[in-house]
Amino acid sequence: ACGALGAAIWIRLVKCQKEAGAKITFNDPRAADTIDRFLKCTNYEFECSTIVGRKFASVDDHAEFVRCGGCAKVLEALAAAGLSAV
């Protein structure tokens, strides 16, 4: 699955907890909104290799892909879900 999605959910919920003292729950609507944005952006796919059309040989290979603009659409969609600085 896409690690950016997991990180985005965690960041968003931690941010909400800091700002409002909100309790984090597994069925939090903010998490559901983040997942919905992600799925719309990825044609309703969760698997990284399906989303980008390839498998990565290593962490460095994946990092280079992201550094060169790969996953930009996904990262922008997640950022739009309210992930400014925590």
Kindly tell me if the per-residue pLDDT of 64 is higher than 90.
yes
Distance CA 31, CA 24 (A): 10
Residue 46, in any domain of the structure: yes
Could you tell me if residue 37 is inside a domain? yes
Quick one: pLDDT at residue 85?
A: 45
pLDDT for res 82: 67
Mean pLDDT of 15-25: 75
Does some domain include residue 18? yes
Range(s) of the domain holding residue 59: 3-79
> Is 86 within the bounds of a domain?
no
> Is position 85 within any domain?
no
C-alpha count within 13 angstroms, C-beta hemisphere, residue 37: 22
Is 33 within a domain?
A: yes
Whether residue 51 is contained in a domain is answered as: yes
The tens digit of pLDDT for each residue in 28-55 reads 787 888 889 999 999 999 999 999 999 9
Cβ proximity of 67 and 22 under 8 Å: no
In percent, the amount of the chain with pLDDT more than 70 equals 92
Q: How many domains does the chain have?
A: 1
